[in-house]
Structure 1
Amino acid sequence: MQAQSPRVAMVAGETSSDLLAGLLIDGLQGRWPGLRGYGVGGPQMQRRGFDAWWPSERLAVHGYSLEVLRRLAGLLRMRAQLRERLSSEDRPDVFIGIDAPDFNLGLETALRAAGVPTVHFVCPSVWAWRPERIETIRRAADHVLCLFPFEPALLERAGIAATYVGHPLASVIPLQPDRAAARRALGLDEAAEVLAVLPGSRSKEIDYITKPFFEAVVLIQQARPAIKIIVPAVPALKARIEAIAAELGLAGRIQILTGQSHTALAACDCTLIASGTATLEAALFKRPMVIGYHMHPWSWRLMRRKQLQPWVGLPNILCESFVVPELIQDRASPEALAAATIDWLEAKTRAPERLTALAQRFTALHETLLRDTPRLAAHAIETLLQRP
């Protein structure tokens, strides 16, 4: 181990992994100010001095297998090049794979066999689907950093060393979000009824999800003409989202933001949101939500065969209950999405106790996930590097 300045290789795919990796780099640089990081990363990592050989979006794929096939050759070529560089001239003191298990676990297995210590950050959801993957994790990772408190015991029963580090989003998002400040930042009246629509951060999610979400928005606006609709968009996908809005006659009737998803979630009364990490963010903002998702039918059939739990959305999985509605695949019709969203909006006057109970449930979840993630993760990595 190079105690004063270890070399850390990392691979992070898509926006949420880039955020996690950026916070992890904060912890590592707090321990080792001279840390050198390189590999595959996004803007959050690069702002912290990370040398991105490839950008994170190269790994942002949608679906279980069908959409990946078209890009498989390029991904395999990139992984082979990484394996070669990290096994020779750019050999790191430790490799950290941030999520992206289909890509990272294979790379970790090869690097571990070559003597490079490996860490996987974000336990693959073996408790939700694809339980056979636990054997792959055992071969790939010297240590797993877990976001959820029940995961280390599950992994340790399989002989995999693991540490619960909490979820970094729980530290980023305040326990009591400031709705009024968020509305001022977006130019929204404090008394307005506001719906945030988050159709996803991946290209294929925009293709499959945005149109039914916006068709639901049309129905919601018909029922509640005064409602304000805000749509945070990943900058690279904003033009496509705007085009879909224009196609459905929503140009000028909704506010499409560049990024600012956290501001939108803090400002809204309710959110219509694609399944994924953003649903956990919405829960940490204590917002009622309707979770929707749609993908290619073949991908959906493959995922359903390996699903272990009745829930898809992270808030429901972590609460072990349908605390918020999920409308997935064929159930995610514009009519059903609109009806479920209006039901939450009407609860403010018809059933305020329902909103209070949900906020209390999400506050308890927030407190469970709130840990000093960068410090705990850095300590676990330091312990691994000190191992003889």
Structure 2
Amino acid sequence: MARSTSPGSEPSLALVAGEASGDLLAGLLLAGMRARWPGATSGGIGGPQMAKQGFDAWWPHHKLAVHGFSWELLRRYREIVGIRAALGDRLLADKPDVFIGVDAPDFNLALEARLKQHGVKTVHFVCPSIWAWRPERVEKLRQSTDHVLCIFPFEPALLASHGIASTYVGHPLANVIPMEPDKAAARHALGLQPEDEVVAILPGSRQSEIRHLALRFFKAAALMLNARAAIKFIVPAVPGLLPEITAIAERSGIGSRLQLLTGQSHTALAACDVTLIASGTATLEAALFKRPMVIGYHMSWLSWQIMRRKRLQPWVGLPNILCRDFVVPELLQDDATPAALAQATLQWLDAARSEPAKIAALQSTFRTLHTDLRRDTATLATDAIEKVLQS
């Protein structure tokens, strides 16, 4: 894989993206790098969005997708550590010009540290949320990476205070998602009517999230139907998880009232009036689509105890963190009951009818956020990577 990085040459790239959101970010990054270096080679761990850019996935990205400090993580620990060791051996045997770890810090930072010690340039794309929880990661980040590509504007100053080089590149999704989504076109694509009340249910992109959240969210939908029988529910699902979601939908008793979609999360968010959504990157996508939302999350008792002790901020959802306010409700752990989730979601639907100014104010807040995050991410990131290669 290794090549010369002299002026005019095209680099060899190694990347790891550990789940669907990382695959999306890495796919956008690879598109920018291919425009700069059409002959660049890339391989490592990734998913379908990366494959579209010619990426050679030695392991699929879902191998790294686990949920919190769960029994699943303990059960799969040996497998994941084995993959990391094997990948590290392969990259050291045929060194790439640069390694780019895309999010997945628990996996990537240790790998980056090993590669850096052996002279491989390392870049970490997406600053770990050291500003929200687990601040001890900052030292590991400093030891592991030559440069951090930041997707939020406040992060470079924080990293600079710890002696870590970084560049704000904006959030790639802010360029992909239109400032004014076309709700009518999205509804037409999904067979929905303009006058329908539509709730998008997004219970997560990991198998463990689906197991903790899908039934809870679907029971909330059943309660909403008791209050307003005409509500339409759309459920976009990661393709590999669709069979499990389908089974849970049938078990919920309202499977026939749920329109299950293979992928199409952006179409669902564009089409809906409100979304009931798992905490994670998808909440930022919902904000960029200017949609009211209720953020829910539930995990194992042990994971929850560990996470809440390491939290540094009162917010968990990205829209709230970035706005530094509870602009949308968060219902976490014991508070994430079907009844509470249903009530909070119905309140947004009520506001659309009786308090349009409330919806308009939220959309204005999200437009400002969208503007702040919109940059030429692919070019800025590629510029930063090129400087690392030349250093």
Partner of 1:186: 190
Report if aligned partners of 1:293, 1:327 keep a CA contact under 8 Å in 2.
Answer: yes
The 3-state SS of whatever aligns with 2:123 is strand
The 3-state SS of whatever aligns with 2:199 is strand
Task: State whether structure 2 residue 141 is matched by structure 1 residue 134.
Answer: no
Q: Deviations over 1:87-130 (max 9, x none)?
A: 12x21000000000000000000000000000000000000000
Report if aligned partners of 2:269, 2:286 keep a CA contact under 8 Å in 1.
Answer: yes
Report if aligned partners of 1:13, 1:99 keep a CA contact under 8 Å in 2.
Answer: yes
Partner Cα distance (1:164, 1:115) in 2:
25
Partner Cα distance (1:236, 1:154) in 2:
38
Q: CA deviation at 1:67?
A: 2.8
Matching of residues 332-351 of structure 1 within 5 Å:
332-351=336-355
* 2:157 corresponds to which of 153, 164, 169: 153
TM-score by length of 1: 0.98
Q: Please give the root-mean-square deviation of Cα atoms over the aligned residues, in Å.
A: 0.8
Partner Cα distance (1:182, 1:254) in 2:
17
Partner of 2:37: 32
* 1:64 corresponds to which of 44, 54, 69: 69
Gaps of 5+ in 1: none
Q: Deviations over 1:5-55 (max 9, x none)?
A: 210000111100000000100111111110100111101111111111000
The 3-state SS of whatever aligns with 2:316 is coil
TM-score by length of 2: 0.98
Q: Deviations over 1:51-91 (max 9, x none)?
A: 11000000111013543111110111111111111112x21
Q: CA deviation at 1:219?
A: 0.3
Task: State whether structure 2 residue 282 is matched by structure 1 residue 304.
Answer: no
* 2:178 corresponds to which of 174, 181, 187: 174
Q: CA deviation at 1:248?
A: 1.8
Q: Deviations over 1:132-159 (max 9, x none)?
A: 1000000000000000000000001100
Partner of 2:27: 22
Q: CA deviation at 1:251?
A: 2.2
What one-letter code is carried by the residue in structure 2 that aligns with 1:70?
R
Partner Cα distance (1:248, 1:132) in 2:
41
What one-letter code is carried by the residue in structure 2 that aligns with 1:264?
A
Partner Cα distance (1:244, 1:115) in 2:
48
Partner Cα distance (2:71, 2:148) in 1:
28
Provide runs of 4+ in structure 1 moved above 2 Å. Answer: 64-67
* 1:370 corresponds to which of 368, 374, 385: 374
Partner Cα distance (2:289, 2:63) in 1:
30
Give aligned-pair identity as a percent. 63
What one-letter code is carried by the residue in structure 2 that aligns with 1:44?
Q
Q: CA deviation at 1:180?
A: 0.2
* 2:279 corresponds to which of 271, 275, 281: 275
Report if aligned partners of 2:70, 2:300 keep a CA contact under 8 Å in 1.
Answer: no
Partner Cα distance (2:54, 2:204) in 1:
27
Partner Cα distance (2:351, 2:286) in 1:
18
* 2:46 corresponds to which of 34, 41, 44: 41
Q: CA deviation at 1:4?
A: 2.1
Matching of residues 1-388 of structure 1 within 5 Å:
1-2=5-6, 3-88=8-93, 90-387=94-391
Report if aligned partners of 1:66, 1:299 keep a CA contact under 8 Å in 2.
Answer: no
Q: Deviations over 1:303-340 (max 9, x none)?
A: 00100000000000000000000000000000000000
Q: Deviations over 1:242-266 (max 9, x none)?
A: 1111112212211011110000000
Report if aligned partners of 1:66, 1:298 keep a CA contact under 8 Å in 2.
Answer: no
Report if aligned partners of 1:129, 1:306 keep a CA contact under 8 Å in 2.
Answer: yes
Partner Cα distance (2:66, 2:188) in 1:
35
In structure 2, relative to structure 1, the CA distance for the partners of 1:48 and 1:13 (3 Å cut) is same
Report if aligned partners of 1:38, 1:50 keep a CA contact under 8 Å in 2.
Answer: yes
Partner Cα distance (1:106, 1:178) in 2:
42
Partner Cα distance (1:227, 1:4) in 2:
57
Partner Cα distance (2:313, 2:252) in 1:
36
The 3-state SS of whatever aligns with 1:54 is strand
What one-letter code is carried by the residue in structure 2 that aligns with 1:201?
S
Report if aligned partners of 1:196, 1:231 keep a CA contact under 8 Å in 2.
Answer: yes
Partner Cα distance (2:252, 2:168) in 1:
45
Partner Cα distance (2:244, 2:45) in 1:
26
Partner Cα distance (2:387, 2:95) in 1:
19
Report if aligned partners of 2:13, 2:43 keep a CA contact under 8 Å in 1.
Answer: yes
Partner Cα distance (1:120, 1:179) in 2:
35
Report if aligned partners of 2:24, 2:49 keep a CA contact under 8 Å in 1.
Answer: yes
Gaps of 5+ in 2: none
What one-letter code is carried by the residue in structure 1 that aligns with 2:119?
G
Partner Cα distance (1:247, 1:22) in 2:
35
Partner Cα distance (2:255, 2:104) in 1:
35
Partner Cα distance (2:216, 2:204) in 1:
13
